[in-house]
Chain A
Amino acid sequence: MTDLSYVLVGIGVMALVTYLPRMLPLAIFRKRINNRFIRSFLSYVPYAVLAAMTFPDVLYSTASLYSALVGLAVAVFLAYRGKSLLTVAVGAAAAVFLVERLLEFL
């Protein structure tokens, strides 16, 4: 069993370095930024961040590369059809589950 005070300080450190990057820019930048490039840049950031977090990590998120590839394909298909967050996520997990059961027989 890990020492409790170590765990609590560790959690405190994590919480602090998670909160500060979220809080500082919001508290500091109150005015509208007028520079067109920066405004364009900031409007693309969310999509770029999500894409960089998803690829290639999604391929390693399950028990095998094959199940992850099928799960990814199902997620992209469902999202392309405009399904909700929940449908896409659960659909991908269900596909992964099925493929991994199938792989057991191969």
Chain B
Amino acid sequence: MSDQSLKKFWKGARDGFPIFLGYVPVSFAFGMMATEGGLPFWTAVLISMTNFTSAGQVAGTSLILSGAAYLEIGITTFVINIRYMLMSLSLSQKLEEKMSTLARCVLSFGNTDEIFAVAMQQEGRVGTSYLAGLIATPYLGWTLGTVLGAGASGLLPLSLRTALGILIYGMFIAIMIPPARKVRSILMTVCIAAALSCVIRWVPWLSWISGGWSIILCAVAASAVVALRYPVADEEAMS
């Protein structure tokens, strides 16, 4: 690795540090849930290291704990994860065009919601070294939190555990609100998607739509409506 790419790697790793801190408690909660449900310690850690996602792995793990069929585990997890196709498509427009296929295949593993959000906030194109660094620290945090949570399951009082449930949403809110405050079209996107999502959840004859599909529907509808109303200027969109 040249000096320059090493420098970019460290910049990415530093930018990933807040995500690291956010991931530790969330994956801690996941590790606790997995071992409390009866999974061996090391399989809980294996899930975090091979999946590296929050909602999908929580849903999949609950299904494994309830003894569900492989097909149900696969479809449910896939539906929750379809949003990553949108995000990866979006990220594909942000990467340096010269990035190799191998690098794309490896780094795409780390395209989590938060890493995606931070990568998209960068000025200009994102390269291999920076993205690798940006993935490395959160991945460590996700693994570390799971190790601690899976090991400490039962040690934490219930009162603390219920309070930790809001952490991941706090992190999402911290990513959404500042740009929504500055840019009107982003504020509209957030409001429309949130409203639609509540409607799908609360209107009885829509409640058959599962969580994963709901996210996709809301995201596609809100982004499409706002894109029609507020098309971004050519360079401002991805650069």
Contact = CB atoms under 8 A, between A and B. Distances in A.
A48 B228 CA distance: 15
Nearest to A86: B21
A32 B57 contact: no
A38 B201 CA distance: 28
A91 B61 CA distance: 28
B105 A2 contact: no
Contacts of B175: 50, 85
A19 B174 CA distance: 26
A85 B109 contact: no
Contacts of B163: 62, 67, 93-94, 96-97, 100
Given A21-B85, A32-B97, A86-B21, A15 B174 contact: no
Interface in A81-98: 82-94, 96-97
Contact of B50 (A4, A15, A48, A51): A15
Interface in B121-149: none
Contacts of B179: 47
Contact of B93 (A42, A52, A57): A42
A45 B91 CA distance: 11
Interface majority SS (helix, strand, loop, mixed), chain A: helix
A45 B90 contact: yes
B196 interface: yes
A43 to B, nearest CB: 5
Contact of A71 (B85, B93, B166): B166
A90 B160 CA distance: 12
A106 to B, nearest CB: 15
A1 B40 CA distance: 9
A36 B227 CA distance: 9
Q: Which of B113, B162, B180 has the most CB of A within 10 A?
A: B162
A43 B25 contact: no
Contacts of A36: 231-232, 234
Nearest to B50: A15
B206 interface: no
A66 B36 CA distance: 27
A18 B193 contact: no
A85 to B, nearest CB: 4
A88 B224 CA distance: 29
A57 B165 CA distance: 11
A27 B108 contact: yes
18 contacts: A1-B38, A10-B64, A21-B83, A21-B88, A22-B111, A36-B231, A42-B237, A43-B227, A45-B87, A49-B219, A52-B194, A53-B113, A56-B198, A61-B165, A62-B163, A71-B166, A88-B171, A100-B162
Interface of B: 18-19, 21-22, 25, 38-40, 43, 46-47, 50-53, 55-57, 60-61, 63-65, 67, 70, 73-74, 77-78, 81-93, 95, 97, 101, 104-105, 107-109, 111, 113-114, 116-117, 120, 159-160, 162-181, 185-186, 189-198, 201-202, 211, 214-215, 218-220, 222-224, 226-228, 230-232, 234, 237-238
Query: 3 tightest A-B contacts by CB?
Result: A89-B170, A79-B177, A88-B174
